[in-house]
Amino acid sequence: MGDINYSHFTLGVEEEYMVLDPHTRELKSHEQKIVLEGQKIIKDKVKAEMHQAVVEVGTDICRNIDEAFKDVATLRGTIAQIAGDLGLWVGASGTHPFSHWEHQLITDHARYNEIVNELQEAARSNLIFGLHVHVGMEDRRMAMHIANTARYFLPHVYALSTNSPFWEGRLTGYKSFRTKVFDKFPRTGIPDFFESIEAYENYVNLLIKTNCIDNAKKIWWDLRVHPFFNTVEFRICDVPLTVNETIAIAALFQAICAKIYKLRSQNLNFMMYQRSVINENKWRASRYGIDGALIDFGKETEVNTRALIYELMDFVDDVVDDLGSRHSINYIHTIFEQGTGADRQLAVYQETNSLASVVDYIHDQFLLA
């Protein structure tokens, strides 16, 4: 270890999976059977989501990236096994290539009923699948500082995760259409900068007081200081096709947090940027994935997205060995070679002209490590 103790940067990974009918390749309600069976084996690490064709899993608190890898791989294997025993498939993609949300059932649960009642079609049509990465923090004050700074890098990492090029049977032209669907919700997207943890908590309390929300979990930003845990939660990414992609992304988020922490401990900081300029990069990442250009706001010029991600990897390079995550970060080179999930889905479609074949591919990739 270096002079700085990074041990509090624990990891928690949440993934949302699609449940598929192996015959039609459509999304299919599993009537919570996967969750009920799963809870017998992995307890509260599996839960229902708003739509019945979605299963959400979450790891334990992992001390390092290798523990996270093992946990995610086990969760995927367990869910795939249970689904298979029920005559179902599972897969990981930000959107289903052709299923229509109107045909999907909503889980009967007070919280979901309340969200649907309030948000109406925005909620019913929110049939998307994401990856959330929690990085543990020393305290909430440091969490707020790290969240403020880490906002700048959200589009870079999001570009690596892009995995939703299709929506309701249409080629969207986006590498990640998932966020376009989610944009219909209130309190989404890149968050504002907050002067302090108190300023953030005052904002939350104002929303609760004025009946905008009943608790801070209804703030669905791309990154947030978690309302109940001492974590920064990164929420911008599409769920990736494979375990290795998920782990590479989790390792990069962890390294960004550790690097910002290291700078702070040396009385240094990264530039803070406005939400409006970071949003320009988010849009580009959503549209082009790793094959476009992002804006380097320091140089005020467009730069090839891959080049900027390499720069980000250089920026965090001096903390990855202390975190023990170099092998996981190195997998980003493989993503550059093979393309993101979206690139690979599109390649299958171009080859076969069949969205059913794309679903087969999504299913086949699910257990790859």
pLDDT digits (tens, 9 = 90+) for 12-38: 999 999 999 999 999 999 889 999 999
Cβ atoms 56, 49 nearer than 8 A = yes
Q: String of b and e for 118-150 (b: at least 16 CB within 10 Å)?
A: ebeebbbbbbbbbbbbbbbbeebebbbbbbbbb
In one letter, which amino acid is 221?
W
Q: What average pLDDT does the chain have?
A: 96
pTM for this prediction: 0.97
Least confident of 106-110, 149-153, 269-273, 279-283: 106-110
232-245: per-residue pLDDT in tens?
999 999 999 999 99
Kindly tell me if the per-residue pLDDT of 221 is higher than 90. yes
Which residues fall within 8 angstroms of residue 40, CB to CB, at 6 or more apart? none
Please tell me the predicted confidence (pLDDT) of residue 112.
82
Closest CA to 208 of 183, 227, 184: 227
User: Average pLDDT in the 35-42 region?
Assistant: 96
How many other CB atoms sit within 10 Å of the CB of residue 101? Answer: 19
pLDDT-derived band at 174, boundaries 50, 70, 90? very high
Q: What is the pLDDT of residue 107?
A: 85
Contact (Cβ atoms closer than 8 angstroms) between residue 158 and residue 240: no
pLDDT at residue 2 in the model: 47
Burial class (CB in 10 A: 0-12, 13-18, 19+), 252: buried
Does 1 score more than 80 pLDDT? no
pLDDT at 110: 84
Structural domains for the chain: 11-365 (3.30.590.20)
Contact, 315 vs 260, CB < 8 A?
Answer: no
Of 81-90, 113-122, 245-254, 258-267, the one with minimum mean pLDDT is: 113-122
- Judged against a pLDDT cut of 90, whether residue 307 lies above it is answered with yes
CB contact at 8 A, 156 and 204: no
On the question of pLDDT at 279 being above 70, the answer is yes
Average pLDDT of the segment spanning 275-287: 97
Closest CA to 95 of 13, 161, 187, 186: 161
